[in-house]
Amino acid sequence: MLRPKFQRFLAGATAKPLLFCLLLMPLAWLVYGAVFDRLGANPAEALVRATGDWTLRMLCLVLLVTPLRVMGVLPALARLRRMVGLFVFFYVLLHFMAYGWLDMGLDPEDIAKDIAKRPFILVGFAALLILAALAATSFNAAIRALGAKRWRQLHRAVYAVAALAILHFYWMRAAKHNFAEVAVYAAILAALLGWRVWSRFSRSASRAQTAT
């Protein structure tokens, strides 16, 4: 009984505005913390780290939508996937802006040198550029312009984003030999990407059996 009602709610008019507000809550909490000095002894580091963490969480969330839809658990989630994907880009952009402003003083030359010098920032910046391309082509006009097949091929680059994000996080934590959180995110993303590999293999095997 509960799932059909939830399905109807997800398909209704209030689902998107509510999701939008929920996805903005981490930012609201960070703004509150910054204004009222609740971010600890190093607010700049807290903001950079928190926006990075929320980027990873949003990435896990957007990759979870397809398995839930395909397995028939909550297929109405598909209509909310674009919004979640755009919030992945929104939070990674905040992450980069926090780094550029709070760590580098918004000096373009210093930022460019730092990106080239430090591999973990370079891979993070590469993930940002890919997400920018995905966000710019996430709208219906872009789908029509590219064609559905090419659009799907382009948006599979989100898998590369997942790999780059984990590598960025791993190298960032390597200096402190703190890999517990990295392992959690890596396991979640590996499971979500592994499901996609298994699903594609299963479909190919099913089509081969049907053809014979």
**pLDDT tens digits along 142-173:** 999 999 999 999 999 999 999 999 999 999 88
**Which value, to the nearest 10 degrees, does the dihedral of the CA atoms of residues 167, 172, 175, 177 take?**
-70
CA distance 155 to 149: 10
pTM of the model: 0.92
Residue 159's nearest CA partner among 16, 56, 63 is 63
pLDDT of residue 102: 93
Higher pLDDT, 177 or 157: 157
CB 124 within 8 A of CB 164: yes
For the chain, the structural domain boundaries read 2-211
Res 36 pLDDT > 60: yes
Burial of residue 91 (number of CB atoms within 10 Å: 0-12, 13-18, 19+): buried
Return the HEC string of 24-92.
HHHHHHHHHHHHCCCCCCCHHHHHHHHHHHHHHHHHHHHHHHHHHHHCCCCHHHHHHHHHHHHHHHHHH
Closest CA to 102 of 18, 43, 147, 145: 43
User: How would residue 118 be classed by pLDDT, with cut points 50, 70 and 90?
Assistant: very high
Q: How many residues does the chain have?
A: 212
**Rounded average pLDDT over 194-211:** 76
CA-wise closest residue to 155 among 141, 137, 142: 137
Q: What is the pLDDT of residues 17-34, one digit of tens each?
A: 999 999 999 999 999 999
